[in-house]
Structure 1
Amino acid sequence: MIDLYFAATPNGLKARLFLEEAQLPYRPITVSLSKGEQFKPEFLAISPNNKIPAIVDHAPADGGAPITMFESGAIMLYLAEKSGRLIPTDLRGRTEVLQWLFWQMSGLGPMAGQIGHFNVYAPEKVPYAIDRYTRETSRLYGVLNQRLADRRFIAGEFSIADIACYPWIVPHRAHGQNLDAFPHLQRWFEAMAARPATLRTYEGVENVYAPKHSSLSEEERRVLFGQGAR
């Protein structure tokens, strides 16, 4: 059994989507970010960066003590290797998948996260930031669109690369993006959305396409965005 510490953010959803696709038994444990549950000592013992997702694998392959993990990309790679699913075993196929997994982790996620923040969460409009991150997110959408021009999935066969990227395309409206401008990406997105595992993952999740958080209290805003080194 795997404990999944989870909130309905793109990173949380991609970990849950993997578990649903791989049909691994798991127990979802909701972490309320706006209430500061990510700062509880028992959670920090699993995820010292106080971010979700995190997992506890109670049945690791070596038969030893439970393994705790944080960082969504590392979690997905670990679970893919544990299950022998959703990552190729041949050198070239594996290399393709890893490139696009790390592309999502280093590019698509951070840039989309920034424009999502400035469009949805920021208490006032910052034109330079909005322009900067809208443009860079658009460029990354274009990279993915071009990649998908001649293939069904990002790395050939369906893999953790697709699972990692999909939740970051779901809130495209909050990113200031129109999928009509990216036809290959749109075709892939619609195919991903129709998968049974995707439907199960997103069941009951609200406002994923155009989230609205203008009603955040000052305390919730401080908890979510006010953390410093201390």
Structure 2
Amino acid sequence: MWRRLTWARYRRAAGRAQSRPTATACGAEIDPFLGQAHQVLKFNRGRTPENEQQCREQVARANRTLEAGLTGRRYIAGEGAGSVSIADMMCWPWVRRFEWHEADPAAFPAVRDWYLRIANRLAVLAKCRCR
């Protein structure tokens, strides 16, 4: 339970330093950085090349942090390997747009596996086109 609450708490706390990369720390990077990447890399491509490069670096950092937190786990929060929780549902829609971020899912196997695990849940399949 505490891991889920920590995720929700830090999810919007952009810029907070963490002593080591964890899935919890990635919550601070998901919304602001991937949201900015959507705007710059997908909808405003070519307008500010230096900003595009900065967004690519932020996306890579967010994916590296999430990869570190998911390695050896099935889900972001929960005991042991984790269990699906609000933390997964809060982050998954942002990670889902990897093509908009110019991110290679193969470079982050734990993130890719987690993404597919969530995408193949019946409730997710019923509400969105994940493929």
TM-score by length of 1: 0.46
Bigger proportion of residues as helix: 2
Matched, 1:168 2:90: no
Does the CA-based 8 Å contact 2:42-2:101 persist in structure 1? no
Residue type of the alignment partner of 1:174: W
Residue in 1 aligned with 2:16? none
Pick one of 99, 105, 113 that aligns with 2:12. Answer: 105
Residue in 1 aligned with 2:110? 184
Structure 1 gap ranges (5+):
1-93, 210-230
| Distance across 2 between alignment mates of 1:102 and 1:182 | 25
Does the CA-based 8 Å contact 1:141-1:182 persist in structure 2? yes
Residue in 1 aligned with 2:76? 154
Matched, 1:128 2:55: no
RMSD value, Cα: 1.8
SS of 2:100's equivalent? coil
Residue type of the alignment partner of 2:11: Q
Bigger proportion of residues as strand: 1
Residue in 1 aligned with 2:61? 139
| Distance across 2 between alignment mates of 1:105 and 1:176 | 23
Structure 2 gap ranges (5+):
14-28
Pick one of 125, 128, 131 that aligns with 1:202. Answer: 128
Farther off after superposition, 124-133 or 110-119: 124-133
Aligned length: 112
Identity score, percent: 27
Shift of 1:182: 0.2
Q: Deviations over 1:11-70 (max 9, x none)?
A: xxxxxxxxxxxxxxxxxxxxxxxxxxxxxxxxxxxxxxxxxxxxxxxxxxxxxxxxxxxx
Shift of 1:123: 6.6
